[in-house]
Structure 1
């Protein structure tokens, strides 16, 4: 006779079941691509597409990712890689890994905790967080939520310089000490996914997306039981009005002097897409230069940041720190960028996927995945990152 059967215990059943709860699904995510799928399931299409989409035909965004797909690593062997430090020195301060959480607008649209959740996760991870001028939480609220974090502020130069000055004063008085000036938005790009959805601020339920209430009840409950979304720094919730007010097509290099005087602290310029512009910024004494095409969300067919990075790093030398922004979805991407000359990388979409998927724990999970992949990649490369360990295939 065979062995007698026994009544199965719950822990035995649970061990073979697929992930059931949000926390289980989050922990089961093997990479940022899995987090992205979780975000897509939780958020309505117009919210997900705001994060996931880009300008016009989305060629710039696709090229940024494709460039990372062309990275070829050339590892060294037989090196001691038992311990590989990840710390980096950015603007005179040590951070736990070479990563900056970049500025994103409408962040509370992804999850009710929005910028506060992201800032807290960044503080726990030991990396900077950058609050956007188009954010939905004010600078004082962010620094109160994450008092131990290194919180930066991002500025779009408004047509009304008084508004810009007030935004800078608010951020500085709240304890933010690094300013990121986004320089590639003289006018707003055409994000066609948003146009087709008729995206407004706050989001409104349209007839054709009414099924989203049924398909995404958790997001809608979260949204409807939260404080109304507003642009916390600039005031108001009129997207068209704020957009017209925020972006000044008359901004020039001369305005950087005004900004430097109004801010009085470290200054990073983001949106650099030409070597000569990078050199001009370095000669002007700018502290940091972010090679970036705005994640493909402004000018379509713009320069691909990873391809441009080595040229900028060589031309700028040690006159300014150089960062990469665009297409970064994991630790291997960060490793490639560092080997090609970046001091650190900015990420945006990646942590927003985590926020959409599960709120603050989702951002934590994204940062854990990036850290683990970066560590593993450096170990497999032989423990160091320099131009000899990477090349971009044609």
Structure 2
């Protein structure tokens, strides 16, 4: 087995997954890689990108190409964020800190998960990243949720990203098969408050609520069943407005009807996402639903997307279909496993380099040049233009 301390070269994001698979214990790799049930949606997220072709324009001066954009008041290296992912410590001892420092070095925003191995304050204080977002699971105990939100504000997070597609945990058979449990040296720091409150109610019970479980099932199932609020409705948005002035994004939107409801309830942005195929199997690919959501929103708020991004051309396709930016998940974790902070940085450098080259070869000087006129969609009748006419 390879070790993450060895310098492992990789040339694309598919390479880094194979290296991570060779390094990580099976339980850890499959926790990150696997999806729900048959994993149809995991595959669909990737195959959706293969339905599009890029129509280049020629004789354009591309001697100076810029991938930069601005979101959250931050000048980003490219329209890409590090997606929220649980338990980076399963991949590497530097945990979320290594990921955050790499993202900061690359001028890429990072979204920190509620289920991180480090507390949201630790990541902010030690990484000194100027643009971090906090991904929030709204649990039944609203006092705890309010505490997390206050901590995020105090630590300088730029926005809240509310996960809305996980009222219950999707059935991930790989976790069940592997009897997933968090190693004894790791815990989910933001959830310590839940353990403390439980211990106060039940003296002598100081066990951390950290996904450890000795039964046949992953402790994650028990965690979500007990703590995540499956009664959550749109009323959560006005409630959050009473406790924070941070921008509120919701992550997990697929239906254009829900996008319209999000507008009605005053959210500041949407992430089109199916949770990386880890929740409802056979839900549609995020890219397939992106155009409908973009049309419903009609430019009133930013629309981001995640799911299946592996190449710079994937970023270009998502932006051409109307995304303001994309989020990159699993490849970041794989880079962390392969070479810690440096591995994450190399992943981000790789996709930025690919994106810059794709822009140049497509005849784009900058991100605002990207549009639906660049895309053709594969169909039984051949390649059909996405836009009604090219510019």
Q: Write the distance in 1 (CA, Å) between the matches of 2:26 and 2:129.
A: 35
In structure 2, the residue matched to 1:135 is 116
Q: Write the distance in 2 (CA, Å) between the matches of 1:284 and 1:84.
A: 38
- Tell me by how many angstroms 1:109 deviates: 1.0
**Is 1:358 the counterpart of 2:339 in the alignment?**
yes
In structure 2, the residue matched to 1:336 is 317
Aligned residues of 2:159 and 2:248 also touching (Cα < 8 A): yes
Aligned residues of 2:161 and 2:248 also touching (Cα < 8 A): yes
Q: Write the distance in 2 (CA, Å) between the matches of 1:391 and 1:266.
A: 35
In structure 2, the residue matched to 1:25 is 8
In structure 1, the residue matched to 2:191 is 234
What is the TM-score normalised by the length of structure 1? Answer: 0.86
Aligned-residue CA RMSD (Å): 1.7
Aligned residues of 2:100 and 2:129 also touching (Cα < 8 A): no
Judged with a 3 Å threshold, the aligned counterparts in structure 2 of structure 1 residues 263 and 85 are, in CA distance, closer, same or farther, namely same
- Tell me by how many angstroms 1:295 deviates: 0.3
Aligned residues of 1:292 and 1:305 also touching (Cα < 8 A): yes
In structure 2, the residue matched to 1:393 is 378
Secondary structure in structure 1 of the residue aligned to 2:189: coil
Aligned residues of 1:107 and 1:115 also touching (Cα < 8 A): yes
Runs of 4 or more, structure 1, over 6 Å off, are none
Aligned residues of 2:72 and 2:131 also touching (Cα < 8 A): no
- Tell me by how many angstroms 1:21 deviates: 9.6
Aligned length: 350
What is the TM-score normalised by the length of structure 2? Answer: 0.86
User: Which ranges in structure 2 are unaligned for 5 or more consecutive residues?
Assistant: 193-207, 212-218, 380-391
Aligned residues of 1:107 and 1:135 also touching (Cα < 8 A): yes
- Tell me by how many angstroms 1:65 deviates: 0.3
Secondary structure in structure 1 of the residue aligned to 2:190: coil
Aligned residues of 2:254 and 2:293 also touching (Cα < 8 A): no
- Tell me by how many angstroms 1:171 deviates: 1.7
Aligned residues of 1:229 and 1:237 also touching (Cα < 8 A): no
**Is 1:44 the counterpart of 2:1 in the alignment?**
no
Judged with a 3 Å threshold, the aligned counterparts in structure 2 of structure 1 residues 21 and 286 are, in CA distance, closer, same or farther, namely closer
In structure 1, the residue matched to 2:200 is none
Instruction: Pick from 63, 76, 79 the counterpart of residue 60 of structure 2.
Output: 79
What are the residue-to-residue correspondences of 1:182-221 with 2, within 5 Å? 182-202=163-183
Aligned residues of 2:83 and 2:110 also touching (Cα < 8 A): yes
In structure 1, the residue matched to 2:294 is 313
Aligned residues of 1:67 and 1:392 also touching (Cα < 8 A): no
Map Cα deviations across residues 249-275 of structure 1 (whole Å, 9 max, x no partner).
100001111122222111110000100
Map Cα deviations across residues 320-365 of structure 1 (whole Å, 9 max, x no partner).
1000111111211111100110000011101011011111111011
User: Which ranges in structure 1 are unaligned for 5 or more consecutive residues?
Assistant: 1-19, 204-227
Q: Write the distance in 1 (CA, Å) between the matches of 2:125 and 2:148.
A: 17
Secondary structure in structure 2 of the residue aligned to 1:248: coil
Secondary structure in structure 1 of the residue aligned to 2:8: helix
In structure 2, the residue matched to 1:58 is 39
In structure 2, the residue matched to 1:325 is 306
Judged with a 3 Å threshold, the aligned counterparts in structure 2 of structure 1 residues 171 and 393 are, in CA distance, closer, same or farther, namely same
